[in-house]
Amino acid sequence: MDDKYAQEEPRFLSFPHLPEDASRDGKPALNKYSTTLTKGHDFPGAQAMLYAAGVPDKQTMETAPHIGIASVWWEGNPCNMHLLDLGREVKKAIVNQGMLGWQYNTIGVSDAITMGGEGMRFSLQTREIIADSIETVTCAQFHDACITIPGCDKNMPGCVMAMARHNRPSLMIYGGSIDKGYSTLLRKPINVATCYEAFGAYTYDTLKQPQDGGDTSKNKDEIMDDIVRHACPGAGACGGMYTANTMASAIETMGLTLPGSSSTPATSPAKMRECMKAADTIRLCMERNIKPLQLLTRRSFENAMVITMALGGSTNAVLHFLAMAVTAHVDLTLDDFQRVSNKIPFIADLHPSGKYYMADLYEVGGVPAVQKLLIAAGLLDGDIPTVTGRTLAENVASFPSLQQDQVIIRPLSNPIKGTGHIQILKGNLAPMGAVAKITGKEGLSFTGKAMVFNKEHELNTALNESRIPRGENLVLVVRYEGPKGGPGMPEQLKASAAIMGAKLTNIALITDGRYSGASHGFIVGHICPEAAVGGPIAIVRDGDIITISAETNELSLNITDEKIQERLTVWTPPRRPATRGVLGKYTYLVGDASHGAVTDLF
């Protein structure tokens, strides 16, 4: 890269010839961007193509605003397979408003389908591709506004990052959560995470039916088949407070969606009504010039962290909030997460560590009811602006409060844990930080002997062969799975869930990769610096003593700094796992996990 460019301040492409107060007849011009192509004769080819695409007449060509409707639709994943239909409802409402709606979609990767395999390496980088593609279409096609419709984990932050880049009136519609599955053999609600935990029980031969009556004659293969067949009953994102629902709840609490979007089920009539309301809201955003960077503020990120701690959200939220903040030019660090965690109680009995699902929360008031509770307690900023033109507090004022007899959200006076479950750890094993998910159910500290695996598949093989012993405390170390080393920082739900299913309570897991939002147990991820760039995790050896403490926020290796440096001097970097193709490009561009693992910091 030429030095004269490298020294310039980072910025996104702007359109300096378009005045911020563009107006027509004293009213704001809603087609401020598209008019570049559609008025006059400067771009006759563009107009010809737009007529062919569906613009009906000259008046519409010259006056109607162009709204991009970006769904992360594809058929191979229940989280995303219904988003095209949601987009059609949005377009219908847009057209009824006298505007032009242009549907398009971006790519996606199913975390649940790729989990534990090489395909998972492609998952995190889809966040960047989604952001790139929405920014590209919005700016190249001169869209005046943008409505995004995501469904799976990386979709939501990718959409928000795109909104921040093009900074045109925008809102997000969350695709919604899946209905609960049900196993007739286990006699309880299940979801996709149940499949991974059942696999651990299957491997360690502890997978059995309940013993409190009924037919218990089924063997473990029949039980596994029943779980797999009934875990995912239809469209919608994974049903617990996993990453998709975590990000949707946070983004709603930042003011970027219509109220209730994050907890409205995917297949409910209410979700279709939300799609219809989006047309009114995006018009209002254009009329009042409400843009993403006005909403993506320090205050709104604070709200995102608060709701995440209260609901017991995914550790992936840390990675994605940091990435969104970088894109929106908001100063956010790992220390902010710890500060918020120290003051916000964990109150939601939701999967993966709890009993209930997002569908259950919807029935007792949904995320707006939780927001009302937190606003009333002074823990959530109700005065932030939102896409509706009202404040967050005004948005939820008409929603019912939490039902008095509900048991999903605990009273603030009697939380599950007095402080947040996400802990930021530092120490000689993670000088730049690590992210732990510690609900307190497994205790607040853990010390054990290291058992080292250089890739996730090595640990999976050991679990498949029942080589992880019970008894002595062990810290399983999975390294070379960070943003560069993975590449792609793969989630490791297969291993963490298998350990929970096998009831290996003597185990803690640490990695420079990530854990799925469905993971629980004593787990630490995002260790930074990662092993591939010479972080201390690269020199851990079998038998080393490792301490994980949520009390002192420490992740430490019980050897001296001198010994660590001695080992590092003889360490050699591994061969890069990918040098060509999309992962090769990603490996070259991606930054570290403690700054969001973004690709535009060069």
How many CB atoms are located within 10 Å of the residue 231 CB? Answer: 24
Among 392, 409, 248, 418, residue whose Cα is nearest residue 316: 248
Measuring CA to CA, how many Å separate 150 from each of 72, 262, 272, 519? 5, 11, 15, 22
Instruction: Say if residues 381 and 392 touch (Cβ distance below 8 Å).
Output: yes
Among 429, 576, 424, 448, residue whose Cα is nearest residue 505: 448
Mind spelling out the 3-state secondary structure of 362-429?
Answer: HHCCHHHHHHHHHHHCCCCCCCCECCCCCEHHHHHCCCCCCCCCCCCECCCCCCCECCCCEEEEEECC
Measuring CA to CA, how many Å separate 165 from each of 128, 133, 161, 324? 12, 11, 6, 10
Residue reference for tokens 């109680």: 345
Measuring CA to CA, how many Å separate 3 from each of 12, 483, 602? 18, 26, 12
Check residue 536 and report its DSSP letter. Answer: G
DSSP for 176-229, please give it. -BPPPEEETTTTEEE-HHHHHHHHHHHHTT-----SSSS-----HHHHHHHHHH
How many CB atoms are located within 10 Å of the residue 269 CB? Answer: 9
Residue reference for tokens 């507090």: 393
Instruction: Say if residues 251 and 323 touch (Cβ distance below 8 Å).
Output: no
Residue reference for tokens 């699902």: 357
Residue reference for tokens 């975390």: 111
Q: Which two tokens stand for residue 34?
A: 């598209």
Instruction: Give the three-class secondary structure for 555.
Output: strand
| d(C-alpha 268, C-alpha 83), whole Å | 13
What are the φ/ψ torsions at residue 477 (nearest 5 degrees)?
-110, 115
Among 517, 519, 537, residue whose Cα is nearest residue 527: 537
Q: Which of 123, 341, 496, 516 is catalytic?
A: 516
Q: Which two tokens stand for residue 563?
A: 């010994």
Partner residues linked to 511 by β-bridges: 478
What are the φ/ψ torsions at residue 172 (nearest 5 degrees)?
-115, 140
Is 516 annotated as catalytic?
yes
- For the chain, the straight-line distance linking the first and the last C-alpha, in angstroms and rounded, comes to 9
Partner residues linked to 453 by β-bridges: 478
Instruction: Say if residues 467 and 441 touch (Cβ distance below 8 Å).
Output: no
| d(C-alpha 124, C-alpha 597), whole Å | 9
Q: Which residues are catalytic?
A: 516
